[in-house]
Amino acid sequence: MKKTYFGTDGIRGKVGQFPVTAEFILKLGWAVGRVLAKGHGSHVLIGKDTRISGYMFESALQAGLSAAGVDIRLLGPMPTPAIAYLTRTFHARAGIVISASHNPYYDNGIKFFSAQGTKLPDEVELAIEAALAEPMETVDSAHLGKAERILDAGGRYIEFCKSTIPNSVELNGLKVVVDCANGATYRIAPSVFQELGAQVISTGVKPDGLNINANCGSIHPEQVQQLVLEHQADVGIALDGDGDRVVMVDSKGELLDGDELIYIIARHRANRAELGGIVVGTVMSNLGLEHALTEIGLQLKRAAVGDRHVLEVLRKGGWILGGESSGHIICLEHTTTGDGIIAALQILAAMVQTGRSLHDIKQGMRKYPQHMINIATVDGKNVIAHPQVKRAVIDAENALANKGRVLLRPSGTEPLVRVMVEGIDAAQVKQVALQIADVVTAATVDGVS
């Protein structure tokens, strides 16, 4: 069955436009209570980022869950991965995150974690949607859910983050710039690094409900790059609004994306044979990562785009490290979802244990030039299957030989086909991408879509 409301990562949209309305979120809370939290004594955690609409949706979810007879534990502003962790440790039936991640303040969304701290499977999301179609009924007053606020949630998560690196690793002497994107990590992230001994220069730690992700954080790392150079810092860490992704900056002001961070973690752990020979990326992971991993005896397995799909491949294969170019990095021996703070700690631990700078330990991976073109179409799958398009892809792959790759995929969120080409020669990559894009556009105009 096709889902009506749930996208690749919960429900998300512009505040005030259906389904991101107070009325719908009230009903959603009730439906979630019906599906996920049946039984006496069950409870659900609710956390949020710092955008202003979080107050409204927190109250709406609370009312809906209470009407379904479910107790609520309120966490307040809390990183998405913290909610996944706390859902497990509190033995909650589910964790609910009110966040639109890296989107601007005027967007918001709801995403869910199971009792195991993982994203909900499709069948559960479909069950919630089925409950949404039913009339909302309130349980007897004696059985209404109660709410309480968890006051030490932040401290619990800080201690957990610190526990993910060896006790012998101290950050004393490291000067670290941390950009919290005026989001959910604004209190937690600086504390984690300070308590481990680092000298922390914080930015993006004054949320006002409207400035989340605004010219800051992992989407706009220019501020961190500038501050690293100004303060002659050893490293910069840029998180997004809900803390599940990270990019970093070395002492020379050079930016490292998720692929480069995954490589550093993999190479450091490969020395201790912890990875089982496999690192999981996505179809968008840079070919340079694949080749660099091969050189150190590891294989890259590619999943569909989305940390949810990365997690599925990790769990099925029994592997522990995976992620995306965007900075969603999963260290599965520690956590069940992308976690920007924990990923950054693994990088800092590698620096301390090797006695080398971030600029030095990133050497060994060369990112290949990549060119992407988006083409509007309402039926991407049929366009990609068109004989002329398939022929163009084969020709392109032959031209690139084993020094590049081609990827065509329909967008999961927009009526687009994404044409991506990468290889060693930037000029050739761009030319090949334009050639394929012309064929895709012609197929679209011919009425395929």
Calculate ∠ Cα 374-435-289, nearest 5°: 65
| CB neighbourhood size of 38 (10 A) | 12
Name the active-site residue from 53, 66, 99, 101. 101
Give me the torsion for CA of 301, 305, 308, 309, rounded to 10°. -40
Largest CA distance in the chain: 71
| Structural element, H or E, at residue 419 | strand 416-423
Q: Is 63 in a helix, a strand, or coil? A: helix
Sheet holding 107-114, edge to edge: 11-14, 107-114, 94-98, 43-48, 71-77, 147-149
Question: Strands across the sheet with 404-410, in order?
Answer: 370-376, 416-423, 404-410
Q: How far apart are CA 108 and CA 131, in angstroms?
A: 22
Coil, strand or helix at 260: helix
CA 256 – CA 296 distance, rounded (Å): 19
Q: Say how far apart CA 449 and CA 440 lie, in whole Å.
A: 10
Q: Are 114 and 44 in contact (CB under 8 A)?
A: no
101 is catalytic: yes
Specify the pairing of strand 71-77 against strand 11-14.
unpaired
Residue 84 DSSP SS3 = helix
283 neighbors 302 (Cβ within 8 angstroms):
yes
Secondary element (H or E) of residue 393 = helix 387-400
Catalytic residues: 101
